[in-house]
């Protein structure tokens, strides 16, 4: 038995008509090789052979259709087996990013680190071995215990962090400074 095309298999319910996909706007990215198919409800499904244009889940699994969910029958309830829908609901529900617990208040700057003297005798790190090499860095100064609205003069530990974006991977250097000890006197020091 020969397999029928998807268009001829489409179920047309009473009062419904097959829908055509709207034309792409001018300048939109168009896949080099695509095929339009229609699902059971007349919706357009597009597939592509270009790996760069394939939509995936968070785990990298290719998705053929992200607009519709799995249902029990044509008009039935949504099934819990639809992991793509569960993933979309999870991301929608968890979008709020809470404030940091520590080092919430801080200031940062982007820059470039350039090595002037080689330290190849002491390390194998490329960023400290090649003279003249420029490496992108991000530096952040912060207070440890204060939230975003805290005072600058609080009796608090200060944080200093450097992130170097090296060829071997990101290198994080973290430091703390205690300009004034956070316990006012020796009698109040916990033992």
Dump pLDDT digits (tens) for 86-143.
888 887 766 666 666 777 778 899 999 999 999 999 999 989 999 999 999 999 998 8
- pLDDT exceeds 60 at position 36: no
Same-domain check for residues 83 and 156: no
Q: Domain tally for the chain?
A: 2
Residues 138 and 175 grouped into a single domain: yes
Residue 141 · residue 107 · CB < 8 Å? yes
| CATH number of the domain where residue 70 is located | 4.10.91.20
Residue 183 inside a domain? The answer is yes
Q: Give the catalytic positions in this structure.
A: 103, 176
Q: Is 19 inside any structural domain?
A: no
In degrees, to the nearest 5, what angle opens at C-alpha 80 toward C-alphas 74 and 86?
110
Q: Say yes or no: 160 and 131 in one domain.
A: yes
The whole-angstrom distance between residue 178's C-alpha and the CA centroid of its chain comes to: 34
Identify the domain containing residue 184 by its residue range.
106-188
Q: Locate tokens 């229609």: which residue?
A: 38
How far apart, in whole angstroms, are the C-alpha atoms of residue 156 and residue 144?
A: 7
Residue 57 sits in the same domain as residue 118: no
CA distances from residue 46 to 36, 53, 57, 63, 135 in whole angstroms, order as listed: 5, 11, 17, 11, 43
pTM: 0.43
């Amino acid at each position: 038995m020969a397999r029928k095309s998807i268009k001829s298999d489409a179920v047309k319910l009473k009062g419904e008509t097959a829908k055509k996909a709207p034309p792409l706007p001018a300048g939109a990215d168009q896949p080099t090789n695509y095929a339009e198919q229609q699902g059971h409800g007349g919706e357009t499904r597009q597939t592509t052979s270009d790996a760069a244009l394939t939509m995936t889940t968070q785990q990298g699994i290719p998705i053929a259709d992200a607009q519709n969910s799995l249902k029990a029958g044509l008009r039935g309830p949504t099934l819990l087996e639809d992991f793509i829908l569960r993933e979309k609901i999870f991301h929608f529900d968890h979008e709020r990013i809470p404030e940091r617990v520590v080092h919430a208040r801080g200031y940062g700057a982007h820059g470039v680190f350039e090595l002037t003297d080689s330290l190849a005798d002491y390390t194998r790190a490329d960023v400290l071995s090649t003279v003249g090499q420029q490496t992108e860095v991000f530096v952040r100064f912060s207070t440890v215990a204060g939230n975003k609205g805290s005072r600058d003069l609080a009796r608090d530990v200060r944080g200093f962090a450097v992130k170097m974006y090296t060829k071997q991977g990101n290198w994080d250097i973290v430091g703390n400074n205690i300009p004034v000890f956070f316990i006012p006197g020796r009698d109040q020091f916990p033992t």
